[in-house]
């Protein structure tokens, strides 16, 4: 056979495969999403997310120790308040659940990088990501509350804020508010390309944040759209975002690549609750090899161009990376 080009030549041994590998990974890229809730002395398992818990502030140290032992350096906090109301006032209360969790985390582990999800849906009685006007979310009225929430997180010790609400103009509103209060150095990671996705189902059970009527399609993106993803990404770059996120990850890696090629900011991909739950369920049935699938999913996200990977598997992945299981 007359062939000069034989791709198999470079696949002949593990040493050689590793030498020519195009995607290299590092635990420093991982962010762990963590749920904190009001109350005392409680750790609640989240049934739709086996292995994930909700912690009261006095018990969150247990998880922070595990993160530390695993070498995960960043968390993203989600708050579950005891009381919800029409305007989500616990989202921006100085002694709200996330604000208290931030102070506690800072005290327990001064080195841990603290990111907060900025949104209203866990705090509103109707479960929508902003304040309502009739049955619609009032975009501009919500901006002020989001900015207030972000500011209160930063004042309580957040290193970075990550707005996930998908209101128009929120990056500018948050940037202006943080700057006006002297927090010019606090980065914003924008959930810029966030789709109205059924992959968030388990999260909504975890956070009790499912909308009580309707859906999120008037603010989160239609998953049929690709050009619109770039429009959202460019807008947030212009408004002052420091990192652009694509969410979910697994079924949206085409857009991770598009965004990676189009903008020069760091890109984050969020492997959401539904992705985790599917892997757990299939693994529990013995249908897949959990560890190998988790590694493959992560490598695929990095290969697609993400710099940062937000995942409920952060602890496991950090360990697999150190063991060289991802290459
Ligand atoms: C809040 C928020 C959601 C997620 C992250 N931030 C839920 C939603 O938009 O309904 C989903 C995360 C996950 O599914 O893991 N708006």
**Ligand 1 contacts CB of residue 106 (under 6 A):** no
**Ligand 1 contacts CB of residue 204 (under 6 A):** yes
Q: Given 73, 84, 148, 247, which residue is catalytic?
A: 247
Question: Would residue 110 count as lying in a domain?
Answer: yes
Please give the number of the atom of ligand 1 that sits closest to the Cα of 220.
9
Q: Given 73, 104, 148, 194, which residue is catalytic?
A: 194
- Condensed to tens digits (0 to 9), the pLDDT of residues 283-306 reads 999 999 999 999 999 999 999 999
**Ligand 1 contacts CB of residue 203 (under 6 A):** yes
Query: Any catalytic annotation for residue 247?
Result: yes
DSSP per residue over 256-321, as a string?
HHHHHHH--S-EEEEE-HHHHHHHHHHHHTTSS-HHHHHHHHHHHHHHHT-SEEEETTHHHHHHHH
Ligand 1 centroid–CA 178 distance in Å is 23
- Structurally, the chain folds into a number of domains equal to 1
Helix axes 139-155, 97-108, angle to 10 degrees: 30
Per-residue pLDDT averaged across 92-119, rounded?
Answer: 98
The residue contributing the CA closest to ligand 1 atom 8 is 200
- The answer to whether the beta carbons of residues 126 and 213 sit under 8 Å apart is yes
Question: Would residue 261 count as lying in a domain?
Answer: yes
Question: Would residue 49 count as lying in a domain?
Answer: yes
pLDDT of residue 1: 84
The residue contributing the CA closest to ligand 1 atom 5 is 164
pLDDT band at 239 (very low <50, low <70, confident <90, very high): very high
Tokens 């049929």 belong to: 224
pLDDT of residue 327: 76
State residue 72 phi and psi, 5-degree precision: -90, 125
Question: Would residue 114 count as lying in a domain?
Answer: yes
Residue from 118, 203, 278 to probe ligand 1 pocket by mutation (most atoms less than 8 Å from CB): 203
CATH number of the domain bearing residue 211: 3.20.20.70
Query: Any catalytic annotation for residue 315?
Result: no
pLDDT band at 50 (very low <50, low <70, confident <90, very high): very high
Distance, CA of 280 to CA of 234 (rounded, Å): 35
- Condensed to tens digits (0 to 9), the pLDDT of residues 153-186 reads 999 999 999 999 999 999 999 999 999 999 999 9
Where in the sequence is the domain holding 158, given as residue range(s)?
Answer: 22-322
pLDDT band at 131 (very low <50, low <70, confident <90, very high): very high
Question: Would residue 11 count as lying in a domain?
Answer: no
Question: Would residue 74 count as lying in a domain?
Answer: yes
DSSP per residue over 140-180, as a string?
HHHHHHHHHHHHHHHHTT-SEEEE-S--TTHHHHHHHHHHH
Ligand 1 centroid–CA 220 distance in Å is 11
Question: Would residue 3 count as lying in a domain?
Answer: no
Please give the number of the atom of ligand 1 that sits closest to the Cα of 271.
15
Question: Would residue 8 count as lying in a domain?
Answer: no
What is the three-class DSSP state of 97? helix
């Amino acid at each position: 056979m007359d062939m000069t080009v034989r791709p198999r030549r470079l696949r002949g041994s593990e040493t050689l495969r590793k030498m020519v590998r195009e995607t290299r990974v590092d635990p420093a890229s991982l962010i762990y999403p963590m749920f904190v809730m009001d109350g005392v002395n409680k750790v609640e398992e989240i049934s739709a997310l086996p292995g994930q818990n909700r912690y009261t502030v006095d018990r969150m140290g247990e998880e922070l120790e595990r993160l530390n032992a695993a070498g995960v350096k960043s968390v993203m906090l989600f708050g579950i308040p005891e009381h919800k109301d029409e305007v989500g006032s616990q989202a921006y209360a100085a002694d709200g659940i996330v604000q208290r969790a931030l102070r506690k985390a800072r005290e327990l582990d001064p080195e841990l990088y603290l990111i907060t999800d900025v949104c209203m849906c866990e705090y509103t009685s109707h479960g929508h990501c902003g304040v309502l006007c009739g049955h619609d979310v009032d975009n501009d009225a919500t901006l002020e509350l989001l900015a207030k929430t972000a500011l209160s997180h930063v004042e309580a010790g957040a290193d970075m804020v990550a707005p996930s609400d998908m209101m128009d103009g929120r990056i500018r509103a948050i940037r202006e508010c943080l700057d006006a209060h002297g927090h010019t150095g606090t980065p914003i990671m924008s959930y810029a390309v966030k789709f109205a996705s059924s992959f968030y189902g388990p999260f909504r059970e975890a956070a009790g944040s499912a909308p009580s009527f309707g859906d999120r399609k008037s603010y989160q993106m239609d998953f049929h759209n690709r050009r619109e993803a770039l429009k959202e990404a460019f807008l947030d770059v212009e408004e002052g975002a420091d990192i652009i996120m694509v969410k979910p990850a697994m079924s949206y890696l085409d857009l991770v690549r598009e965004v990676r090629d189009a903008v020069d900011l760091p890109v984050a991909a969020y492997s959401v609750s539904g992705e985790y739950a599917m892997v757990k369920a299939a693994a529990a049935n013995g249908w897949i090899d959990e560890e190998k699938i988790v590694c493959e999913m992560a490598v695929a996200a990095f290969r697609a161009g993400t710099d940062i990977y937000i995942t409920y598997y952060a602890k496991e992945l950090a360990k697999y990376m150190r063991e060289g299981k991802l290459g």
